[in-house]
């Protein structure tokens, strides 16, 4: 029985880096604001107030601090999810679901969502492209392989798919 590996957590690597990287934009903006605040403060004679230095300088610190904390927290969260799923898969702690895809459902296209759900044996899976996930989450709207009747082998921890294989020798039910 031959199969095609569609997704493998050990080969895919950490793919959720764009989510915390988005926070770096706000960190950079906060750093620039603080930089100009300090430059403006140094050039301003004591006792006079300018537009940038006199009004709520605490907001500049809060903005920069919140941006840093959000970016670090989101990176830690997404990377630890990836690391936990990969470690569980490498240590054989993931369950195996093998069989035909049944009850395949996709969100209506008019909602512009790409939520999918399906069953393989007793296991139920659901995912969406727009969710940040360490596991497989490529829906069929954007080229994902899942469809009703497809014979698959899935290594999963809960709902997170660590490895997805499509068995080539078994024809889909029509």
Q: Could you report the per-residue pLDDT of 36-80, keeping only the tens digit for each? A: 887 877 666 666 555 555 557 788 889 999 999 999 999 999 999
CB 131 within 8 A of CB 78: no
Asked whether 153 and 3 are in contact (CB, 8 A), the reply is yes
* DSSP 8-state code for residue 49: -
104-129: per-residue pLDDT in tens? 998 766 555 668 899 999 999 999 87
Q: How far, in Å, CA of 73 to CA of 171, rounded?
A: 45
Which pLDDT score, from 0 to 100, does residue 136 have? Answer: 93
pLDDT at 171: 62
The rounded distance, in Å, linking the Cα atoms of 100 and 150 is: 5
Does the pLDDT value for residue 169 go beyond 80? no
Query: Which tokens is 115 given?
Result: 């939520």
Average pLDDT over residues 30-39: 87
What is the C-alpha to C-alpha distance for residues 72 and 30, in angstroms, rounded to an integer?
15
Q: What is the pLDDT of residue 86?
A: 96
Confidence of residue 172 (pLDDT cuts 50, 70, 90): low
Q: How far apart are the first and last CA of the chain?
A: 20
Determine what percent of the chain is predicted with pLDDT higher than 70: 84
Please say whether the dihedral angle defined by the alpha carbons of residues 171, 2, 106 and 120, taken in this order, is positive or negative: positive
pLDDT at 99 over 70: yes
Q: pLDDT band for position 18 (50/70/90)?
A: confident
The CATH code for residues 3-11+95-167 is 2.40.50
Helices (H), the chain: 9-12, 18-43, 51-54, 57-90
Residue 25 has pLDDT above 90, yes or no: yes
Residue (of 12, 163, 157, 8) closest to 85 by Cα position: 157
What is the number of H-type helices and E-type strands within the chain? 4, 6
Does the CA dihedral 107-112-114-115 come out positive or negative?
negative
**Mean pLDDT of the chain, nearest integer:** 86
**pLDDT of res. 84:** 95
Statement: the pTM of the whole predicted model exceeds 0.75: yes
């Amino acid at each position: 029985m031959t199969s095609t590996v569609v997704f493998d957590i050990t080969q895919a690597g950490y793919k959720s880096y764009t989510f915390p990287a988005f926070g770096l934009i706000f960190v950079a903006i906060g750093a620039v604001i603080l930089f100009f605040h300090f430059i403006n403060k140094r050039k301003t004679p004591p006792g006079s107030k300018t537009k940038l230095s006199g009004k709520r300088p605490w907001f500049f610190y809060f903005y920069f601090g919140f941006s840093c904390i959000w970016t670090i927290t989101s990176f830690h969260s997404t990377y630890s999810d990836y690391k936990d799923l990969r470690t569980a898969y490498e240590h054989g702690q993931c369950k195996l679901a093998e069989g035909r895809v049944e009850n395949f459902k996709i969100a209506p296209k008019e909602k512009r969502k790409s939520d999918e759900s399906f069953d393989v044996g007793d296991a139920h899976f659901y995912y969406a492209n727009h969710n940040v996930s360490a596991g497989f989450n490529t829906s069929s709207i954007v080229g994902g392989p899942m469809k009703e009747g497809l014979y698959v082998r899935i290594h999963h921890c809960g709902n997170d798919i660590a490895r997805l294989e499509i068995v080539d020798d078994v024809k889909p039910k029509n």
